[in-house]
Structure 1
Amino acid sequence: MNKARWLTKLEEQFPAERFRRNEPMSQHTSFQIGGKADVLIMPTSKQEIIHIIRFCNKHNIPLTVIGKGSNLLVMDAGIEGIVMKIGSCMKALQFSDEYVYAEAGISLNCLAKKIQEMSLVGFEFASGIPGTLGGALTMNAGAYGGEMKNILSECTTVSLEGKINTIDHPDMKMGYRSSRIQATGEIIVEAVLKLQRGDREEIKNITNDYWKRRLTKQPYDLPSAGSVFKRPEGFFAGKLIEDCGLKGCTVGRAKVSELHAGFIVNMGGATASDVLTLMEMIKNKVREKYEVELESELRVIGRS
């Protein structure tokens, strides 16, 4: 049986709203950039994730896993095979004392709001960070002195072979914008966070302060993928880029934000090629002027 017939067989096992052929990835990334995925599936459980992984392994079909699509750049030629999106179909949430049990697809903003309602301290930094819990843990997202590694107790993953694993905090090997997940390719499906009791009004005030800072410093008026480059040791990427005179610099419809030079925004109709060319220009200018090598924070996927 050929690949097309196997995909038809897989399609029969999912409702139409969760199985889409030739799906524009621009609709699934915060950058609003990217060609079509051959197939996009939105699972609702660990069992469905395992089923999709084993199906792809058996029939030699490429599999790409995404969350909410922030910090992500999809190539203009799209993505071969199956894209598995772990998002709003997997957002279950439970509380037990100071522990938070959450599925990986829940958005950080939704999770931050629920945690605040429970008067728990330690997650304020994540309010306003785009993306899902799974994505945040994968890259050890952080802001304002907080990081996911500071609050993670353990997480549940599915391996590339379709096996379920429970990983405790030390074994996640979380560093600056990194974790073991980036090396192993495991898929985070659930996590347990350990927080502390606090005063709800104080938590609300801190969260609101962080939001105000973001609104004044980050471009929310145009699509972006968040901060484009990691922070070089001893420097701030945005400051280096600004000091090179690159604020407002454009390639095609991609532009270095005039509000924060660490962001590239889509002015409407930008392509992945525009963004990558602009990123390379930025890296070259910073290298020439400061002898500092900028490293991309974006995950770039798809057909080259």
Structure 2
Amino acid sequence: MSRAASPSSRQSVRGELREREPLSQHTSWRVGGPADRFFEPADRDDLLQFIARLPAKEPVLWLGLGSNLLVRDGGFRGTVISLHGALDGLVSAGDFEIYAEAGVHCARLAKFAQQHKRAGLGFMAGIPGTVGGALAMNAGAWGGETWPQVIAVEAVFRGGRAEWLEPHDFSWSYRHVDLPNGFLGFLGARLRVANDEHGEHERVTREWLARRKATQPVGKPTAGSTFRNPPGDHAARLIECCGLKGARIGGAEVSKLHANFIVTDEGAKASDVESLIEHIRNTVRAQSGIDLHPEVRVVGEPL
């Protein structure tokens, strides 16, 4: 059970600060132990002021929708900062740019671009997370990915310093971004778009979403793709060829619809998911010689 943080730790905070917050309530797999501290800022200024008061070596976990994340059953020893419900601004800045704050859901960004007849962000409709999370891992779907669309990003560093940076300040690749020293998270991004007066963006996005609904376990507790695709192949194909569709450990199961998705039942534990991930990796390695690399981030302490 979570509880409000002590009065001293709440000094000058306008958002919600709680202790022992169950992270199973904030992750898409619906598993995970408690965070020592859990902060939901009221707005950008509240967030920066809170960060400025954090101890220099305090472990910090930046959280959006909690997709692409596995928190172990022992929880997170440090402070979790949740942007869900905050930093949700969207602005169409002329014909070739959209500004999105880090807490904006990727699907909402795709719809916003569609409504403003802008192309280039349709792939965002297939990402089950926020703009901040997409930036942190160069998320992608349907052949598109985040960083090629970036004009500039606003990042926050320890001490509460916010700074605008450009793509050349980062090294990024498939589902990976090297982040600067002292980096905590993204506040927002200026994103490149193009005119779509004839609605081609809308048509293609509808087709993608229909395909996603038919081929992925939409609506079930899942973190999205579990593994990165190896060069020249697909993780789902390799997993399926090993006969692992429907494989189960405890309350975690390889989806029968899409082999690169793990779904959880009520009562599942993070250890079930982590054990199933390792079982998949070991089996695929033994049968194909290919080492699958997880796309999901694993944090926290085991019980």
Give the TM-score category using the shorter length: over 0.9
Aligned residues: 298
Structure 2 residue 41 is the aligned partner of structure 1 residue 40: no
- The CA deviation at 1:37 is 1.3
Aligned to 1:62: 59
Letter in 2 for 1:165: E
Structure 2 residue 187 is the aligned partner of structure 1 residue 189: yes
Can you give the 5+ residue segments of structure 1 that lack an aligned partner in the other structure?
1-5
Query: Which range is displaced more, 118-127 or 31-40?
Result: 31-40
Aligned to 1:249: 247
Q: What TM-score does the superposition give when structure 1 sets the normalisation length?
A: 0.92
How far apart, in 1, do the equivalents of 2:259 and 2:181 lie?
Answer: 29
Query: Which range is displaced more, 125-134 or 45-54?
Result: 45-54
Larger relative helix fraction: 1
- The CA deviation at 1:201 is 3.0
- State whether residues 29 and 67 of structure 2, in contact with CA within 8 Å, keep that contact through their aligned partners in structure 1: yes
Aligned to 1:122: 120
Give the match's secondary structure for 1:8.
coil
Letter in 1 for 2:227: F
Deviations 1:245-294, CA, capped at 9 Å, x for gaps: 00000000100000011011002211110011111111111111110011
Aligned to 2:10: 11
How far apart, in 1, do the equivalents of 2:185 and 2:270 lie?
Answer: 25
- State whether residues 93 and 100 of structure 1, in contact with CA within 8 Å, keep that contact through their aligned partners in structure 2: yes
Deviations 1:82-131, CA, capped at 9 Å, x for gaps: 11012221101111212111211010111111111110000111113111
Aligned to 1:76: 73
- State whether residues 70 and 225 of structure 1, in contact with CA within 8 Å, keep that contact through their aligned partners in structure 2: yes
Aligned to 1:26: 24
Aligned to 1:3: none
Letter in 1 for 2:19: R
Give the match's secondary structure for 2:295.
coil
Q: Percent identity?
A: 37
Aligned to 2:298: 300
Structure 2 residue 141 is the aligned partner of structure 1 residue 143: yes
Structure 2 residue 85 is the aligned partner of structure 1 residue 88: yes
- The CA deviation at 1:7 is 4.7
Question: Where does 1:126-275 land on structure 2 (aligned, <5 Å)?
Answer: 126-181=124-179, 185-199=183-197, 201-275=199-273
- State whether residues 53 and 63 of structure 1, in contact with CA within 8 Å, keep that contact through their aligned partners in structure 2: no
Letter in 1 for 2:84: G
Give the match's secondary structure for 1:164.
strand
How far apart, in 1, do the equivalents of 2:80 and 2:198 lie?
Answer: 39
Change (3 A) 1:123 1:232: same
Query: Which range is displaced more, 173-182 or 132-141?
Result: 173-182
Give the match's secondary structure for 2:259.
coil
Deviations 1:118-148, CA, capped at 9 Å, x for gaps: 1000011111311100100111111112111
Change (3 A) 1:81 1:7: farther
Change (3 A) 1:183 1:228: farther
- The CA deviation at 1:184 is 5.6
- The CA deviation at 1:179 is 1.4
Aligned CA-pair RMSD: 1.9
Change (3 A) 1:213 1:115: same
- The CA deviation at 1:183 is 7.0
- The CA deviation at 1:35 is 1.1
Deviations 1:180-203, CA, capped at 9 Å, x for gaps: 238764310011001000135322
How far apart, in 2, do the equivalents of 1:183 and 1:273 lie?
Answer: 31
Aligned to 1:113: 111
- The CA deviation at 1:171 is 1.9
Displacement over 6 Å in runs of 4+: none
- The CA deviation at 1:47 is 2.9
Letter in 1 for 2:100: A
